[in-house]
A = this chain, B = another copy of it.
Amino acid sequence: MRLTAEQQASQRGETRPTRRATVPALEEMLYEPVPVLDHGFIRVVDYMGDDEAIVQAARVSYGRGTRRTSEDQGLINYLMRHRHTTPFEMCEIKYHVKLPIFVARQWIRHRTANVNEYSGRYSILDNEFYIPAPEHLAAQATTNRQGRGTILEGAAAQHVLDLLREDAERAYRGYVELLNEDAAGTPIDPSRPGLARELARMNLSLNFYTQWYWKTDLHNLMHFLSLRADPHAQYEIRAYAEAMLGTLARWVPMTYAAFLEYRMNAALISATALAVIRRMLAGETVTPEASGLSRREWRELMQVLGRSPAA
């Protein structure tokens, strides 16, 4: 499942004329795989629209009765701040992604996208699986059921890596044994039938790589990124989201700036937390107990405000 000769041939690298909106900074990296994890990648294979297409769609609403008083960046900021999301839906992007199956399972939960995945019913999967780099080999967090704790080291780390690798290799050997055919589709032992591909694949583990084309509009892409580039997301999918943030910056730089300012680096402050801030600004010393917030919310608020949780 690497880029095959056929896939590379289909990269359509030739330059052709178009009257559509084009983005030279994105054209430069078109079709180029950006490596993610140990064997994965993302690459942009097509796109539609640019920052100006968003502005243009927004101005449909204003029509000729509106003077162009605001700058494009100002208008895009306004749309982002006020959740006028439809103009961002006017842009579309298509990625080719290679990713471990357990990451694909999280990713696919974002429903507002179009997907074509490599099918193990029809084809044989490659012997490629994800093994975490040592610096991402984390113990279970003790304070948080969902998170990672300290990084494993030394013999404990090596034990984990060995076990993961051995089990994946054994799973793949089992898979080939079940299929009874090699990667080229030639029977290995012609004296016995191979198991149907759609059944044999079930022997593979969730760290094996799959790949897909994934197409979405800019609004839904940003929603995906705001959730998956977030520190609470599992590291492995976050690695993909971060690579995609780089493509966003090239594609629609104004939207990207607004996205950082009003989404990624913004904070949603609850009604009670707003009241706490108002009291603090009025000079009051607010204690966690008198704040009306839960301990967890208090801690999160103090973090957002750049203050020590103690007060």
Contact = CB atoms under 8 A, between A and B. Distances in A.
B178 A160 contact: yes
One complex includes copies of this chain to the number of 4
Interface in A173-210: 174, 177-179, 181, 183, 185, 192-199, 201-207
A152 interface: yes
Interface residues of A, number: 141
Interface string A25-40: 0010011000000000
Contacts of A287: none
Interface string A88-131: 01101010000011101100110110111111011110000010
Given A206-B202, A262-B270, A122 B146 contact: yes
B267 A199 contact: no
A212 B57 CA distance: 9
A161 to B, nearest CB: 10
Contacts of A149: 193, 196
Nearest to A28: B19
A262 B269 CA distance: 7
Contacts of A65: 122-124, 145, 183, 185
Most chain B CB within 10 A, of A89, A108, A122, A217, is at: A122
Nearest to A68: B6
Contacts of A59: 6
Given A46-B20, A195-B137, A92 B92 contact: yes
A106 to B, nearest CB: 9
Contact of A170 (B145, B170, B274): B170
A305 interface: yes
B17 A102 contact: no
Contacts of A306: 278
10 contacts: A12-B19, A18-B18, A60-B211, A61-B116, A92-B215, A101-B206, A198-B234, A204-B206, A205-B206, A262-B271
Given A19-B31, A102-B201, A204-B205, 17 more contacts: A15-B17, A17-B17, A17-B22, A20-B30, A61-B116, A61-B117, A65-B185, A89-B114, A100-B202, A137-B195, A139-B195, A163-B203, A202-B206, A267-B268, A277-B305, A278-B306, A281-B305
